[in-house]
Structure formats: structure tokens, C-alpha cells
Amino acid sequence: MSALRLISNRTSQQALSNSDYTWEYEYYEYGPVSFEGLKAHKYSIVIGFWVGLAVFVIFMFFVLTLLTKTGAPHQDNAEPSEKRCRMNSFVADFGRPLDSERVFSRQIAEESRSLFHFCINEVEHLDKAKQNHRSPGLESNIHFEEVPRSSGMFEEDLNCLTKFNIPNCVNTEQNSSLGEDDLLISEPPIILETKSVMQSSCRILD
Amino acid sequence: KNISDFSLNVTDCTQVVVPEEVFFTVAAAGILENLLVLIAVVRNKNLHLPMYFFICSLAISDMLGSLYKTLENIFIILCKMGYLTRRGDFEKKLDDAMDSMFILSLLGSIFSLLAIAADRYITIFYALRYHNIMTLRRALAILAIIWTFCAGSSIAIALFSYEAATVIPFTILFPLMMFFILCLYIHMFLLARSHAKKIASLPTSTVHQRTNMKGAITLTIFLGVFLCCWAPFVLHILLARFCPHNPYCACYMSIFHVNGTLIMCNAIIDPMIFAFRSPELRCTFKKMFCCSR
């Protein structure tokens, strides 16, 4: 900026070697700056600015980490039989009137079924296109891992979901290494066709 | 050596000098990288999507910033060698043109980042209607509006850069946009968290909970890099306008070239954190380089 270069011209004695200060404008004059009687260190603005910026960035990082914290502890060592027991009890629970969890889980199950169907359809369409970059870098999608029913079909669907990039299925892929890189979507969403699917997915996302 | 001279012409804060070789290397690297991104998006039909167009817009504004610095250095060298006069009208107009290119680059970067954040927001919150909301034509229209506005503002700011009325809105725009982008991303994070919690609360869920650091790290890098690269310059403009005679301000303004180099570093880092994260784009690069060999 021309004005800024003029300031540099006035304060710099290195006129020739790195003369970025060559433009001079008569309508913009700065007087010389006196450095007498400084109370604080002369680079205090520089130091203060950079320290403030660093503090702000670190603070922002901690806030974001808190926001992405999901809360419950690890369930790393769940045995398969244990899982099956849990699934059976879940199915059994359907008969009993329960709290909102059950209602919600049923809703999720219904939605998951329709989502799975839609996902499977989309998966077939995407098969060829995605072969090139079907990497564990599903880094660009948010996925929802739906609750599997006790039927094998759904486990298959789940596997399909984990393998393919389907940005419109919101899926928290816990076992993958991508973590919350998921939010940073760089794959294009898929054109959907079924209206019922739209409704169910809208319910999930809104 | 830090005792100030009695002569008023000497200040203690001498200009911090960045060697010209460093300038040119950093600028050239920025321009090349962003050019590659543009070429890759143009050549691959799969990448003709709104999201990639916004990334291209960011690449263009980064290129403009690096180009500005390169041209400025070239003109200074020409001046040193005597091919250009220092007070000519032509040089003055050239200088104004270059200033406006630089401001255009800054404004373009900010608005491109905003467009990218808004595009991701719509992808998440309006996923099924995304293709109706963000059609290709609308994306191009949005980009046209953004760049027209930026071009107009940059010319106005360059012409009237000595008025407080232009400096203040310019410096207010910068943190405002950053804050807005931050809000968009935080809302997206909150949604992801609430969904994850809902899934985790189901009894048969085999979901493992943990703090997902990667998203927080990535977003901090996005915004942190942008802030660290542009904020020093914005502060410079503020100080130049409001306290040029203050010794503290003068010392801050002596690191002007470091600030300029930071802006060029931003041009190098931005493609890495936006464009190269896409697997499709990386594939296109590989194909481009494999075919050329």
C-alpha cells in the first residue's frame, strides 16, 4: 500500500538494498517518530498481538474440542454374545411401554430401514464411481451408524454403509480412524429420488 | 544500541527485512499450487460441482495475493535498475491497481471461506434438498456476485484508502466474517454431537464414544491459519491510519514485510487444507502427473 510504504520510507535508513519504499507521495506526509521516554518495551504491540492471537486460537481449539466431545466412555471389549444378548433384549423391549428412548429407537429403526434401502440403491449407482477412491479416508462424510436389528440383512447394510461414501446418510463411524473429519464434506451429496426417504431423513437431520 | 538518537530522523525500529529470494520462492509456490488446483478442477468433469467451484474461488484469491507481491517486487527491482521513474503518473496508477488487487485478494479469500462454510452447512442441515438449493447455476451466480462486490470494494478502498471511513469498515468486516464462519461450523459440530449422543444412548448400540479431536483440530487449523496470516496485515492498516506517529505503532509497522510473507504463506497452506482433502482431487492430480511423464 502506498501510504504504508511511505511510513517505511521515513522510518528506515536502509534506503537502497531493499528499497520497497520507493514510492513517494506529496499529499501524504508523516513526521519523524521520536522514541524518547518509552514506558513499555518498544515491540510491545507486536508481542501483545501475537500472544493474544495464540491465546485466542488455543481457546477456540478447546471450545471446539468440548463441543465435539460425545461423553460416554469406551465400549471396546464388548463380546459378540453380549451384543447378541443386548440385541435380543432390545427386541424384547419393544413389547413393553418404556420411556422415550424406546420410542426414539423404534423411530430410528424404521428410519434406518428406509435409509438402508435408499443407501443400498444409491450404493449400486455409486459402485463404479467410487471404486477409485474408496479408501478408509471416508474423511469427508458425516455418517449415522444405525441400530442393527437382529436380522442379517441389516448387518450387511451396515457394512455397505461403512464402505461407501454416502454423504446424506449421517453416520458416526466410530471404529474408523476418521473421527470428526467427517464434518468436512468434500464429496458431493447424492440425488435422492424417493419422497418417503426424504421425509425420514429430514426427520433425522432436523 | 537501543538508545534512541537525539536526531529525530533516526528511529530504533528499523524495517525487518525479508530477503527477496524468500519472497519470490514463497510467492511462486503459492501461485503454482493454486494454479494446479484450478487446472485439476477444470479438467475433471466430476469436479464440476458447487463445492469445488467455491474452492476454486479461494484458490483464485490466493493466487491474486501472491501475484500482487510478486509484481510489487518486480516493479521495485525495475525501479532500482532505473527502468521506471518514481514519481510518474503511470507508476502511481500501477501502484493503485496493485493495491486494489491485494485488497481484492483479501476480500475474495474471506468471502470464499464464507461460501465454503455455508455450502457445507447446507449439505449437512438441508442434505436432501441440497441439490435443489445449491444448483450449479446458483453457485456460479453467487460467485459472480461475490467477486463483483469484492472488485468494487477493493477499487473504492484503494482509491480512498486514506479516509477513516474505508479503513474502519474494512477492519470490522474481517473479524465479523470470521465470527460468522465460526458460528456455522460450531452449529455443525453441535448437530454431530447431538446425533452421536442419541445413537450412543440406545441400549444395543455398539458405538464407541470418544472425543473426536480430528474435527476440532481441522477447524482450528482452518480458522487459525487464516487469522494468523491476515490479521497482522489488517492490524497494520489500522495502526497506519490511526497512530502513525506513535513509537509503539511505528515498531509494529516495521514488520510489514513479515506480514506480507505471512499472507503468501496463507496462499500455500489453503489448498492443502481445502482442496487436497478431497480424494477425487488428489486422484486428478495423480492422473495429471502420471500422464505428463
CATH number at residue B38: 1.20.1070.10
* Mean pLDDT, rounded, of chain A: 50
Inter-residue contact B8 to A10 (CB < 8 Å) = no
Q: How far is A46 from chain B (nearest CA, A)?
A: 6
> Which cell numbers in the block locate residue B281?
482431487
Domain membership flag for residue A199: no
Cβ distance B14 to A11 less than 8 Å, yes or no, reads yes
Q: Tell whether A54 is covered by a domain.
A: yes
Burial-class residue B271 by CB neighbours within 10 Å (0-12, 13-18, 19+). buried
Between CA B261 and CA B266 the distance in angstroms is 9
Residue recorded with cell 440406545: B202
Task: For A111-163, write each residue's pLDDT tens digit.
Answer: 444 444 444 444 444 444 444 444 433 334 444 333 333 334 434 443 433 34
Alpha-helical (H) ranges within A13-151 are 44-68, 80-93, 100-130
Confidence (pLDDT) at B211? 55
The low-confidence residues of chain B, meaning pLDDT below 70, are 1-12, 85-87, 161-164, 204-212, 292-293
Distance of CA A15 to the CA centre of its chain: 49
Per the DSSP assignment, residues forming a β-bridge with B211 are A69
User: In sequence order, which ranges of chain B are alpha helices (DSSP H)?
Assistant: 20-43, 50-81, 89-125, 130-133, 136-159, 164-200, 213-242, 247-253, 256-273, 279-292
**Residue at B9 is within a domain:** no
Rounded CA gap, B18 and A18, in Å? 9
Instruction: Give the pLDDT of residue B56.
Output: 92
The chain A residue lying nearest B215, using CA atoms, is A180
Closest-CA distance of chain B to residue A127, Å: 15
**Interchain contact, B245 vs A135, CB within 8 Å:** no
Which residue in A has a C-alpha nearest to residue B227's C-alpha? A53
Task: State the pLDDT at residue B205.
Answer: 60
Range of the domain at A56: 42-68
Whether residue A68 and residue B202 make contact (CB cut-off 8 A), yes or no, is: no
Chain A interface includes B125 (CB < 8 A): yes
Question: What does the pLDDT look like over A18-31, one tens digit per residue?
Answer: 444 444 333 333 45
The parent domain of residue B241 ranges over 20-287
Question: Quick check: is A137 in a domain?
Answer: no
Instruction: Tell me what pLDDT residue B210 has.
Output: 56
List the single best residue of A5, A7, A99 to mutate versus B (max B Cβ within 10 A).
A7
Give a yes or no: residue A203 inside a domain: no
Mean pLDDT for the stretch of residues A68-91: 49
B115 inside domain: yes
pLDDT at B38: 92
Identity of residue B162? Y
- Looking at the structure of chain B, the number of domains it has is 1
C-alpha cell at A33: 517518530
Q: Which chain A residues in 120-159 lie under 8 Å from chain B, judged by CB atoms?
A: 129, 132-133, 135, 137, 139-140, 142, 144-148
pLDDT score at B72: 80
Chain B residue at shortest CA distance from A25: B87
Question: A73 in a domain, yes or no?
Answer: no
**B277/A184 Cα distance (integer angstroms):** 9
Does the residue A63 lie in any domain? yes
- Of B231, B267, B240, B177, which is closest to residue A54 (Cα–Cα)? B231
For position A31, what pLDDT does the model report? 54
- The pLDDT score that the predictor gives to residue B149 is 93
pLDDT of residue B145: 95
Residue numbers in A near B86 (CB within 8 A):
22-24
The verdict on residue B10 lying in a domain is no
Query: Which grid coordinates are listed for B120?
Result: 457445507
Segment A90-98 shows an average pLDDT of 42
Cβ partners under 8 Å of residue A75, min gap 6: B206, B207, B208, B209
Could you report the per-residue pLDDT of B154-202, keeping only the tens digit for each?
888 777 766 667 777 778 888 888 888 888 888 888 887 787 778 777 7
- B197 found inside a domain: yes
CB pairs under 8 A between A and B: 311
In a domain, A130, yes or no: no
